[in-house]
Chain A
């Protein structure tokens, strides 16, 4: 109750002091504004960048800790890998291949497999080897333009979502139980779904290396964080239509990729041993651990701290401004503080009054800076939102607001501490000598 009374007293008197010296308060706020704004902008920018860069990184790169093995689809690699991984839930192989779904015998609307809104994005299919890269004969040269969509068809041996947490959009995910269907069941990513929403095409699927063109069943849509049309399919359903030696032998993907949980060391050892036994050189088996999120977070944090350091320097200038004004004000208010002590105000409360004034000034400035940040972000979204799709739907991050308030309070404390101590030390006898 006692503390509450003192707190209230300091706020009332601090508020009176601010109202009495509006111009000085305004000048203090001006000097502090840029510093707090800098903190708010850096924090907001860092949070938005974080969200934009990190939100989809797990979808694309995999959850941190995932062990990834890359295998070149040569010799017995694919059959051995598929045999070792059959029925396993702690390791999943994925193999990408090029597929075209739509009208038979036509040139796809997105040749190269790029986004349908960006023609020519993907460019012609290329194949690279020791002698260099050259265009692949996709067999559709001279074909007429038609309604067909080219996409990256990813065959899976199991549920990949434990490694890459795709977000379900519509329908269902692949069921890896039961017999494989002769009509391969596909789960599209959102870019592929968008393409098929726009082009209602006949359902014939041309797959590189397939012996015939199957009719696919589209069963669901997921957000996989990718930027190009893709579809996911059970690899055994794909193999109904193509020989095992053609799996992963594509220009669309990195060959065969095996994803394993950190605890699947036994699978990794077995697979490596079997592959080496099948004649695959050990140095062609590449394994690494996904640490993308960690690495990116570390880099972003470093960048954030560098910018926050610069913002702190600007804030320091604002603090110097508050300190300067505060010292001058205390000098002018010696008699007032002496009088307050004479009527029984404790020294601590006098210090509290001065601190309350600078803290209120800091908070007001923080409120203005946060307001400016919100308005600035809205303007930026209006002006540049269409150019940067990742900015779509971005809201002002609350962390930036908290950082602004903390910066305002810290500046208020730093700028008000010395004047507060001086105010508390003013002798009461000042009023007797006056």
Chain B
């Protein structure tokens, strides 16, 4: 197992007896557009344990992002069951979902979605200034700096996104996802807008979050990046199938 120079030393892995972070059983989703309803997910089963890293591969339009949006509570499944820990959140109302998104999940997107008028630190702080509790300015600043340091860009805290490279911007986005210390990190093609080397670096940073007990679900087209995850699943015909477990050298 390689170690990114950007991460702090890992604490011990959580004990195996812990309940899974997320557990999806027979989850279905049908999109109702102008044309005929289209079944995107036809009964997906997925379990992510603390410290797990899961890659999801699949063709464009196979439903990878839809699955991720269901896991991240952007949307709700039409059928099946979704357990977060031991709590059934299949039909959780939006108000409670927002609180869970803030407390339990971190999100990294293909486009970094950094606000150009804010500094890197302010972009990271966005996840803390979201109406879910209140942190005094000093504590907020400390958390933001810790998150930026964790992904190795503490020295860029005062830089605005236009002055950062693609890799640096994505690391700011990762810091934003990590700043609330989520239990699950969801990444939707986070290397899609990066060159190969930078992409590898970003994937390494993401993977190493699992050393701290965080669960990682990575949606990607890139088989090499997927290979760096603990499990690789393939989504096709609305179903999630394992493609073999890989061990990172």
Q: Which residue of B has the minimal Cβ distance to A352?
A: B131
What is the CA–CA distance of A336 and B117 in the complex, to the nearest angstrom? 11
Query: Does the CB pair A432–B122 fall under 8 Å?
Result: no
Q: How far is the CB of A168 from chain B (nearest CB, A)?
A: 58
Assuming the contacts A344-B102, A429-B75, A432-B65, asked whether A9 and B118 have C-beta atoms less than 8 A apart, the reply is: no
Q: Which residue of B has the minimal Cβ distance to A339?
A: B113
Assuming the contacts A343-B101, A431-B109, A434-B111, asked whether A9 and B95 have C-beta atoms less than 8 A apart, the reply is: no
What is the CA–CA distance of A343 and B98 in the complex, to the nearest angstrom? 8
In the assembled complex, which residues on chain A have CB atoms less than 8 Å from the CB atom of B75?
A: 428-429
What is the CA–CA distance of A190 and B114 in the complex, to the nearest angstrom? 73
Q: Which residue of B has the minimal Cβ distance to A8?
A: B134
In the assembled complex, which residues on chain A have CB atoms less than 8 Å from the CB atom of B188?
A: 432
Assuming the contacts A335-B113, A336-B115, A429-B74, asked whether A343 and B134 have C-beta atoms less than 8 A apart, the reply is: no
Interface centre among B111, B118, B132 (most CB of A within 10 A): B132
Q: Does B129 sit within 8 A of A, measured CB to CB?
A: yes
Query: Does the CB pair A9–B109 fall under 8 Å?
Result: no
Contact of A343 among B68, B69, B111, B127 (CB under 8 A): B127
In the assembled complex, which residues on chain B have CB atoms less than 8 Å from the CB atom of A342?
A: 72, 74, 101, 107
Query: Does the CB pair A343–B107 fall under 8 Å?
Result: yes
In the assembled complex, which residues on chain B have CB atoms less than 8 Å from the CB atom of A432?
A: 65, 68-69, 74, 109, 188
In residues 197-239 of chain B, which contact A (Cβ within 8 Å)? none
Q: Does A24 sit within 8 A of B, measured CB to CB?
A: no
Q: Does B78 sit within 8 A of A, measured CB to CB?
A: no
Contact of B134 among A4, A20, A344, A346 (CB under 8 A): A4
Q: Which residue of B has the minimal Cβ distance to A6?
A: B131
Query: Does the CB pair B129–A9 fall under 8 Å?
Result: yes
Assuming the contacts A341-B98, A432-B65, asked whether A5 and B134 have C-beta atoms less than 8 A apart, the reply is: yes
What is the CA–CA distance of A5 and B140 in the complex, to the nearest angstrom? 13
In the assembled complex, which residues on chain B have CB atoms less than 8 Å from the CB atom of A20?
A: 115, 117-118
Q: How far is the CB of B136 from chain A (nearest CB, A)?
A: 10
What is the CA–CA distance of A367 and B74 in the complex, to the nearest angstrom? 41
Q: Does B103 sit within 8 A of A, measured CB to CB?
A: yes
Q: How far is the CB of B89 from chain A (nearest CB, A)?
A: 14
Contact with B along A343-368 (1 / 0, CB 8 A): 11111110000000000000000000
Query: Does the CB pair B103–A344 fall under 8 Å?
Result: yes
In the assembled complex, which residues on chain A have CB atoms less than 8 Å from the CB atom of B65?
A: 432-433
Q: How far is the CB of B41 from chain A (nearest CB, A)?
A: 14
Q: Does B150 sit within 8 A of A, measured CB to CB?
A: no
**Number of residues on chain A facing chain B (CB within 8 A):** 33
What is the CA–CA distance of A344 and B188 in the complex, to the nearest angstrom? 17
Query: Does the CB pair B131–A5 fall under 8 Å?
Result: yes
Query: Does the CB pair B131–A9 fall under 8 Å?
Result: yes
In the assembled complex, which residues on chain A have CB atoms less than 8 Å from the CB atom of B110?
A: 434
Query: Does the CB pair A431–B113 fall under 8 Å?
Result: yes
Query: Does the CB pair B102–A428 fall under 8 Å?
Result: no
Contact with B along A378-415 (1 / 0, CB 8 A): 00000000000000000000000000000000000000
Q: How far is the CB of B235 from chain A (nearest CB, A)?
A: 15
Q: How far is the CB of A253 from chain B (nearest CB, A)?
A: 73
Contact of A346 among B74, B113, B131 (CB under 8 A): B131
Query: Does the CB pair B69–A340 fall under 8 Å?
Result: no
What is the CA–CA distance of A10 and B130 in the complex, to the nearest angstrom? 9
Query: Does the CB pair A346–B98 fall under 8 Å?
Result: yes
What is the CA–CA distance of A345 and B117 in the complex, to the nearest angstrom? 19
Contact with B along A317-353 (1 / 0, CB 8 A): 0000000000000000001100111111111110000
What is the CA–CA distance of A348 and B94 in the complex, to the nearest angstrom? 11
Query: Does the CB pair B74–A9 fall under 8 Å?
Result: no
Stretch at the interface among A11-19, A134-142, A197-205: A11-19
In residues 1-46 of chain A, which contact B (Cβ within 8 Å)? 1-2, 4-6, 8-10, 12-13, 16, 19-20
What is the CA–CA distance of A345 and B133 in the complex, to the nearest angstrom? 11
What is the CA–CA distance of A345 and B180 in the complex, to the nearest angstrom? 13
Contact of A19 among B68, B117, B127, B129 (CB under 8 A): B117
Interface centre among A335, A344, A432, A434 (most CB of B within 10 A): A344
What is the CA–CA distance of A263 and B134 in the complex, to the nearest angstrom? 65
Q: Does B126 sit within 8 A of A, measured CB to CB?
A: yes
Query: Does the CB pair A344–B109 fall under 8 Å?
Result: no
In the assembled complex, which residues on chain B have CB atoms less than 8 Å from the CB atom of A339?
A: 113, 126
Assuming the contacts A8-B134, A343-B107, A432-B65, asked whether A13 and B98 have C-beta atoms less than 8 A apart, the reply is: no
Query: Does the CB pair B98–A344 fall under 8 Å?
Result: yes
Q: Which residue of B has the minimal Cβ distance to A333?
A: B115
Query: Does the CB pair A345–B131 fall under 8 Å?
Result: yes
Q: How far is the CB of A335 from chain B (nearest CB, A)?
A: 6
What is the CA–CA distance of A412 and B180 in the complex, to the nearest angstrom? 33
Query: Does the CB pair A9–B113 fall under 8 Å?
Result: no
Q: How far is the CB of B116 from chain A (nearest CB, A)?
A: 8
What is the CA–CA distance of A9 and B128 in the complex, to the nearest angstrom? 9
Q: Does B99 sit within 8 A of A, measured CB to CB?
A: yes
Contact with A along B57-83 (1 / 0, CB 8 A): 000000001001100101100000000
In residues 244-277 of chain A, which contact B (Cβ within 8 Å)? none
Q: Which residue of A has the minimal Cβ distance to B102?
A: A344
In the assembled complex, which residues on chain B have CB atoms less than 8 Å from the CB atom of A12?
A: 129
Query: Does the CB pair A429–B94 fall under 8 Å?
Result: no
The 7 closest A-B pairs by CB, nearest first: A344-B102, A5-B134, A20-B117, A349-B131, A345-B130, A428-B74, A6-B131
Could you list 30 A-B pairs, sorted by A, with CB under 8 Å? Answer: A2-B133, A5-B131, A8-B134, A16-B118, A16-B122, A19-B117, A20-B117, A20-B118, A341-B98, A341-B101, A342-B101, A342-B107, A343-B101, A343-B107, A343-B127, A344-B100, A344-B127, A345-B102, A345-B130, A345-B132, A346-B98, A346-B131, A346-B132, A428-B74, A428-B75, A429-B69, A432-B65, A432-B68, A434-B109, A434-B113
B-side interface residues toward A, CB under 8 Å?
65, 68-69, 72, 74-75, 94-95, 98-103, 107, 109-111, 113, 115, 117-118, 122, 126-127, 129-134, 176, 188
